[in-house]
Amino acid sequence: MRVTLDLDQLLRDGSITAEEYARLSRFARRDTGTLLVNVLGGFGVIAVAAAGIMLIPNAVTGCALGGLLMALGLGLQWSGRPQWGLFAAFSILIAALLLGGGVMLISQGITSPDAMDADVVPLIPLPLAWLAVALIFAASAVAGRSGLLAALAVLALSPMLGGWTGYTHAAYWVAITRPLATVLVFSAIALGLHGASRVLAPEWERLATIAARTALLVVNLGFWVGSLWGSERETEMVRLSPGAFSVLWAVGLIGAGVWAGRTNRRWLLNLAAIFGGIHFYTQWFEHLGADPLTILAAGLLTLGAAFLLRAANRRMEG
């Protein structure tokens, strides 16, 4: 159990003596020094990995470095030395990213930067390559008790359904090309992980909960895209209109918010509120346009919703 204490305030209040203050301060300085060493070591790992790939720029190098770093990180993780926990987490995270990236490139026949501009023959289909990356992230998350990798494992499944992201200068894209399939598949993943979290030990429950929450995030992104474009694409076997997506999304958000309020699930309540606001603004301006009156009305309604959310969070605290 971790407890954060303000030693200066406790000393001023007379809750601890000067001797206790000095002893506890030594512990704090020791922990701060250990944290600094771990952070510097983590940046060192990143620098070594980057330098290795630049010296021998191919996917095999990435996989080799990833394997070495994974062995180092897991060795420290399982050594029973908590002072190296952050450095081990750094190593496992970088190792998983290197392994995932290397496996993805090799599976598509891209072993070096020169091959990216050439005609290459994929060794396995792209969806299966992303599945392999998701499994690498999931296994690394379990081995290293990493919540970040658990979330990345779920996100790595999205490209299997045609999801992708893009970036150019000052512009970002998040694409969901199969919104209906995305909503159905990731809803099932979220429900399965939530059910598993109820029977797992606490350390595994945390990972399952993080992964389930990430899946819910993807579900809402699928609803968001579907509420604008529907699933009127040839890739969707079942076609829904944007209006149907909008209604189903609203019903889902209201249901999730009510259930979260009754069961004291603050994260889910806030998620439902955030995407409820996104849904509201999207449909409001999509159908009513943006002019001074619609913007004023939308702002007033949002302020009212914010006060309601604040009251709900306070009720959960108390």
Domain boundary among the residues 125, 156, 187 is at 156
Do 198 and 272 lie in one domain? The reply is yes
Domain presence at residue 297: yes
What does the pLDDT look like over 19-63, one tens digit per residue? 766 666 665 555 555 666 666 666 676 676 666 666 666 788 888
Do 182 and 149 lie in one domain? The reply is no
**Beta-bridge mates of residue 66:** none
With b for 16 or more beta-carbon neighbours within 10 A and e for fewer, the 86-124 pattern comes to bbbbbbbbbbbbbbbbbbbbbbbebbeeeeeeeeeeeee
Alpha-carbon torsion, ordered 119, 120, 122, 126, to 10 deg: -60
Total domains present in the chain: 2
Q: Which two tokens stand for residue 118?
A: 């050439």
Do 149 and 184 lie in one domain? The reply is no
Do 140 and 189 lie in one domain? The reply is no
> Biggest alpha carbon distance in the chain?
74
Q: What is the rounded distance in angstroms from the CA atom of residue 147 to the CA atom of residue 267?
A: 16
Do 146 and 224 lie in one domain? The reply is no
Collect all residues with Cβ–Cβ distance below 8 Å to 210 and sequence separation of at least 6: 147, 150, 151
Q: What is the rounded distance in angstroms from the CA atom of residue 273 to the CA atom of residue 104?
A: 36
**DSSP reduced 3-state for 308:** helix
Average pLDDT, the chain: 79
**Beta-bridge mates of residue 168:** 171
> pLDDT at residue 177 above 60?
yes
Domain presence at residue 45: yes
- Residue 172's Cβ-side half-sphere holds a number of Cα atoms within 13 Å equal to 1
Do 146 and 1 lie in one domain? The reply is yes
Domain presence at residue 163: no
Do 180 and 151 lie in one domain? The reply is no
Q: What is the pLDDT of residue 206?
A: 92
Question: Nearest 5°: CA angle at 133, between 126 and 55?
Answer: 95
Contact 148, 93 (CB under 8 A): yes
Contact 181, 161 (CB under 8 A): yes
Question: Closest Cα partner for 108 from 159, 158, 172?
Answer: 159
Domain presence at residue 161: no
> pLDDT at residue 235 above 60?
no
Do 230 and 255 lie in one domain? The reply is yes
Do 85 and 207 lie in one domain? The reply is no
Query: Which residue type, as a one-letter code, is found at position 13?
Result: D
Q: What is the pLDDT of residue 8?
A: 66
Domain presence at residue 20: yes
Domain boundary among the residues 97, 131, 156 is at 156
| pLDDT above 70: percentage of residues in the chain | 69
> pLDDT at residue 218 above 90?
yes
Collect all residues with Cβ–Cβ distance below 8 Å to 38 and sequence separation of at least 6: 83, 84, 85, 86, 87, 90
Please count the other Cβ atoms lying within 10 Å of the Cβ belonging to residue 236: 16
Q: What is the rounded distance in angstroms from the CA atom of residue 296 to the CA atom of residue 318?
A: 33
Do 133 and 228 lie in one domain? The reply is no
Q: What is the rounded distance in angstroms from the CA atom of residue 33 to the CA atom of residue 234?
A: 58
Do 142 and 191 lie in one domain? The reply is no
Do 313 and 177 lie in one domain? The reply is yes
Domain boundary among the residues 156, 182, 210 is at 156
What does the pLDDT look like over 96-128, one tens digit per residue? 988 998 888 888 887 766 665 567 778 888 889
Question: Closest Cα partner for 207 from 152, 156, 141?
Answer: 141
pTM: 0.76
Domain presence at residue 190: yes
Q: What is the pLDDT of residue 115?
A: 61
Domain presence at residue 16: yes
Domain presence at residue 277: yes
Domain that holds residue 277: 171-318
Q: What is the pLDDT of residue 1?
A: 43
More confident residue, 132 or 293: 132
Q: What is the mean pLDDT of residues 258-270?
A: 86
